[in-house]
Structures are given as structure tokens and as C-alpha cells.
Amino acid sequence: MAWWKLSFFLLVLLGVGFVFSFRRGSDPDRGTLFDRQRWSIWIGLFGAALPKSVSAIVLWTPWIFQSHPIVVPIYLLAEFSVFVAVLLFYRHMTAQPLADLGFSSERLGMRLLFGLRWILAAFLVIYATFYFLLRFQTLEVSQAWLLRLYRNQDVITGLMHFFEKMWGLPSLAIPILFMVVLRPFSEEMIFRGLLYGPIRRKSDPVMAALITSFLYMLADGSYTGHHLLSGVLAAYLYEQTESLFPGMILHGLINLGSVVYYFGGKDMMSVVVRKTEAGWIALLLTVVLVGLEVLYRVLLKRSRTPQAPVSTS
């Protein structure tokens, strides 16, 4: 992230903090997760600012050259350490259990099913749109569109290239686990867990979702719409399920796309391959989504059916 992007991100965090520090509350429904989240918005803002600031220091310290191999393991270690520090900071400052962040196991199965329905529906829309765009455009336009879509390698492909070059193919598990597991876990904990609740207590769900998603987009530094939209969907899942796990799954699957892109190689630039792939994936998602919807409805109906009293005679 460039210095000006980091500075802008930190200024926006300060602005959000001052606005919601003086804004009058509009408490959510009593007994909900967000009603129990009584920590200050500044705890969430600190959690959002610390990882980006530390990673910037690691990457831009004069004695570290960006091309030097040592910068990557240092970067990974720094991000992991910051994640642990934010978690400990939350426990120390709030004295609230992790369940109040959204890590409760209560009715976890139904919450995950609810979230997976929306996640699969979102991916179905994406792949169906992708398929029709490639199908009804000329080959030249489709090829130019693919090249533009994949013109830059992102963080995960850069990390994977480094580890494969230095330590061979097995070492790719490190960046994959980092980007597909650890980063979704930490970012959802910060932008939904720590930030959404304090904003939600003083606004409605729509405003809280938009603000936290906008901050997430700024933190990523890409300023692209898909980060904003994925953040809104993750916030919606958090609001409806009161659990961070569905949003983490969504976030992890999005990052997993970068892994697929890395291993896809030149096939990712082939219009024919991408069109066929998108069509089959859309069909598979449709089948799985219908099955999940039926399963969710059946389980929901069973959970609402009163159980007959057990006779003891």
C-alpha cells in the first residue's frame, strides 16, 4: 500500500471515530449480539489501523529491499503477530468473551447453512454473468476483457511465486493457509467483529454495512467495487446470523480464487477454457444451491416444530 493510501485510510478511520463517538445511539434489539457489544468504536479502529501500519513499516523500512527474499517471511510473521496482538487487546480492553464477537457455536450448523445459501447464490450470479459476457461478445473483446481482468498479480500470487521458487511446491501451503484461512479470519474479526457492532449501535444495519465495507475496501488499497460488495454481503451475513464464520467462508473462497488463478497459468487467459469453465461451475452451483435450500428449509421446519412431551409413566 502506498503512503498516500495508508495516510488516507488512517484519516478516514479518525473521521469515522469522531463522528460515531459523538453520535447519539439507536440501540439494536435487546438481547441481540450487537446489543451485547459494548466496547468503544476506538478499539475497532485501532484493530483496523494496526495491521496496515505494521505491514507498511515492514515493507518500507529503508534497510529492507522489496526484492530481498527475507521480506516475505518477515511480512507473514508480522501479520500473524499483529493478529494475535489484536485478539489479546480485545480480551484485555473489553473483558468480553469471544462469543460476543461472533464466535459462538450455538446453532452453528443452521447459521452456516443460512450463510452458504447466500454465498453460493452470489457466486452463481458472478459465474453466470461471466459466462454470458464471454459467450455473447466477440473473441477479441472477450480476450481483451480477460487480459484486463487478470493484468496484475495480487498479494497471494506474489507470495506463492516466492515460496515455490525458494523452497519448492510443498511450501505453497504457507501462503495458501495465510491468505485463505488466516487473513479472512483476522479481517472479518476486525471489520465485522470489532467495528460493525459499535457502528451498528448508533446507526441502522445498512449504514453499518456500508461504512465497514468502505473501510475494508480502503484497507485493501485496491479501491475496487468487488471488495465493497463482498464486504456488504459479509456484513449482511453477520447481521442475520450473528456469527463471523459465514463471512469468513465467503472471504476465504474469494481469496481461493487467486490460488486457482496461480495454478491455472495460461488457461486463465483462454476465452474458450474460461467460458466452458464458467458454464459448468454455474450449473454445479445451481444444483448445490437447490440442495442446500431444501436442506435448510427442512431443518428450519423441524427446529420450529414443537416436540411432544416425553412420557415417564
| Amino acid in the structure at residue 239 | E
pLDDT in the model for residue 66: 55
> Which residues span the domain enclosing 228?
102-300
- CA-CA distances (angstroms) from residue 153 to 157, 170, 268, 284, 296? 6, 21, 13, 28, 38
Do 131 and 74 meet the contact criterion of CB atoms below 8 Å apart? no
Let me know if residue 311 belongs to a domain: no
How many whole angstroms separate alpha carbon 90 and alpha carbon 185? 15
Q: Is residue 223 included in any domain, yes or no?
A: yes
SS3 annotation, 48-114: HHHHHHHHHHHHHCCCCCCCCCCHHHHHHHHHHHHHHHHHHHHHHHHCCCHHHCCCCCCCHHHHHHH
Q: Cell 480492553, residue?
A: 93
Residue 119: inside a domain, yes or no? yes
**Is residue 184 assigned to a domain?**
yes
Phi and psi angles of residue 268, each rounded to the nearest 5 degrees, phi first: -65, -20
pLDDT for the residue 49 = 92
Please indicate, yes or no, if residue 90 is contained in any of the structural domains: no
Whether 313 maps to a domain, the answer reads no
Give me the tens of pLDDT residue by residue for the chain, a chain 313 residues long: 677 888 899 999 999 999 998 887 666 667 788 888 889 999 999 999 998 888 777 767 655 455 566 666 777 788 888 889 989 999 998 889 999 999 988 889 999 999 999 999 999 998 898 888 888 777 666 666 666 666 555 566 666 776 777 666 666 777 788 888 888 999 999 999 999 999 998 888 999 999 999 999 998 877 777 889 999 999 999 999 999 999 999 999 988 877 777 776 555 666 777 788 889 999 999 999 999 999 999 998 887 765 544 444 3
pLDDT value at residue 48: 92
How many alpha carbons fall within 13 Å on the CB side of residue 105? 0
* 178 is a domain residue: yes
Residues 37 and 35: their CA atoms lie apart, in Å, by 6
pLDDT of residue 77: 83
**Into how many domains does the chain fold?**
1
Answer for the pair 202, 23: CB distance below 8 angstroms, yes or no: yes
CA–CA–CA angle 92, 96, 102 (5° rounding)? 120
C-alpha closest to that of 33 among 246, 245, 240, 242: 242
User: Which sign, positive or negative, has the C-alpha torsion 273, 279, 282, 287?
Assistant: negative
Q: Which three cell numbers stand for residue 95?
A: 473483558
Any domain includes 71: no
Residue 80 near residue 45, CB atoms below 8 Å: no
